Each structure stands twice: as structure tokens, then as C-alpha cells.
Amino acid sequence: MSLAEKHIRQRTIRSAIGCVGVGLHTGARVALTLRPASADSGIRFVREDRPGSPHIEACIETVADTTRCTLLRSPCGATVSTVEHLMAALAAWGIDNIEIALDGPEVPAMDGSARSFFFLLGCAGIVEQDAPRRVLEILHPVTVQHGERSASLRPHQGFAVDMSIDFAHAAIGRQRLAVEVDGESFPSELAGARTFGFAEDVDSLRAQGLARGGSLDNAVVVSERGVLNPEGLRWPDEFVRHKALDAIGDLFLAGPIQGRFVGRGSGHMLHVKLLRRLLADRSAWRVVGADLEQPSALVHAAQLGAD
């Protein structure tokens, strides 16, 4: 059964729910509230701490930076960063429409994974809406490269991720994970995989204004002695699982995808580059379940990419 056949109606959450945490990079305390949204409104962030509470659409057009996280910017200049873990949880639940209100510039890190967000969405409840769900079906392979790293999307029934990484550090090394992503595999195989970093990079990252909220409570930290977190790893290959999680979140900026993602050492930059390359190639995809009288953000973005 294809992704389009599995969920033919758009989804939102039943009721509002929220959490409070610290931004991984900014170190700022942030309150986040998830709210139901009407059909065809999409996923949007709201900066309630800014004058006029500007909205930031979660789509490929608003991606402004991919340095260590995915950052979105609205036309008026409002930004929200580190959206990828929450976006991955939204993808896993099949949420098409939701409003995400924040009183700061970054989605809270929670424990460094998507587990808390997946749990919150489940507690809020998922409801179907009276509107067809639009799925981006991959028709032929599209690939982007940066040095030895690459990312591609290929035709597939459903949505699958095949991610591999290769780090010189003995605690990581070469790892690969191939998984069909759905509401069962995501919480058991991916949601709890935490972001990670290296102890020797902390000072330079903070000098760049990054990782100011990072700690052993919200990241796996690796040094020459190994993993510094007292509890150790959640899986022996937690590192590649988190990279797969990031890819799922980044790819959901184009909405639900029917295809197979293959990443070879890929990160946020390549994921965004891949989506832009894909949408610019009109022969590589089609929108399944689209109401032609109400074109989706996917179609709009593709038209912009083709201009």
C-alpha cells in the first residue's frame, strides 16, 4: 500500500498542548505550544514574542540557514531554528496542518531527540480533516553531492530512509540504517535517537553562537575517551539513527513524500539542496491526491524553482 493510499485525508491535532525547554544552540528558555489548524493551512511557526506575532511557514522556500540545524526565516525577517526534530515527529504522525507557537527563536531541544514531540502529539490526539492529503511521489531518482557526501530520492512504495555515516572517531566509525518509516517504526527505532557532538568542538561552536544550550541532558557528547553521557547510548548505532531522524524532519519541509531517501554522510545542507533540485525537475515527481482547484505549497514551490 502506498503512502497516498494509507492516509488519504489531511490531519491535524485534536487539542492544544505545550512544553517548555532550552534551545540547543541559543541556550534560551522557550515555551512551545502546538495548536490545531484548519485544512490546507499547512505547518507554520508563530513567534509570539515578536511584534505582530509573525508567522513562518515550514516549507523549503523559508529555509535560510543549515549550519548545524535547519533555520527558517519569514519575509519579515522573523526566524525559528532547530525545527528538524519536531518536523520529524510531525511527519511520523502524518500531521499536515498545525500551528506551533513559540516565545523564543528556537524550538526547545528537550532531550535532543524527537521522542518528547512524538509523545506530545499523541497526547494531543490526531484527527482527520475533510480535505485530500497531497503526497509528493518520486518518479525517477534525483541526487545531489558535496565532496564524498551525497543525498538522493528514489521511487518507492511508502517512505523509507537508508542513511550511512563514517566518522574517524572510534566511538562512531561506520554505521548504516535502512528502515521503512511509519507510525510504528518511528517511535521504536528513531524518535529517541539524540543529537551528538564532540567535546573538542564545544568552545569553537559557542564562539560561533552555537551549542550554548547543549549539555549531557540534551546531546550525546563524544570525547577521545568515548561517550561522556553517564547513561551511555540508547542504541549502539544511535548516531546514524539520529542522522536519519534529521533527514526525515528536513524532507518533511516538502510535505509527505512517497519515495526512498538515501543519504551517504548527508546533513541539513544536502537535504535542502536535494529538495530544491527535486522540485526544480518537474519530471521527477507528481502530486498524488491533489485538488487542482487548491494547489498545494508543493506545487507553488516547484513553480518557483522552475522559473
Which residues are identified as catalytic?
268
Which residue, chain included where needed, has cell 568552545? 203
SS (H, E, C) the chain: CCHHHHCCEEEEECCCEEEEEEECCCCCEEEEEEEECCCCCCEEEEECCCCCCCEEECCHHHEEECCCCCEEECCCCCEEECCHHHHHHHHHHCCCCEEEEECCCECECCCCCCHHHHHHHHHHCEEEEEEECCEEEECCCEEEEECCEEEEEECCCCEEEEEEEECCCCCCCEEEEEEECCCCHHHHHHCCCCCEEEHHHHHHHHHCCCCCCCCCCCCEEEECCEECCCCCCCCCCHHHHHHHHHHHHHHHHHCCEEEEEEEECCCHHHHHHHHHHHHHCHHHEEEECCCCCCCCHHHHHHHHHHC
Give the residue among 238, 220, 269 at the shortest CA–CA distance from 109. 220
- Measured CA to CA, the distance from residue 95 to residue 99 in angstroms comes to 11
Q: Are 220 and 194 in contact (CB under 8 A)?
A: yes
- Measured CA to CA, the distance from residue 87 to residue 160 in angstroms comes to 16
C-alpha dihedral, 167 to 263 to 59 to 269, nearest 10°: 40
Task: State the cell numbers at 80.
Answer: 525559528
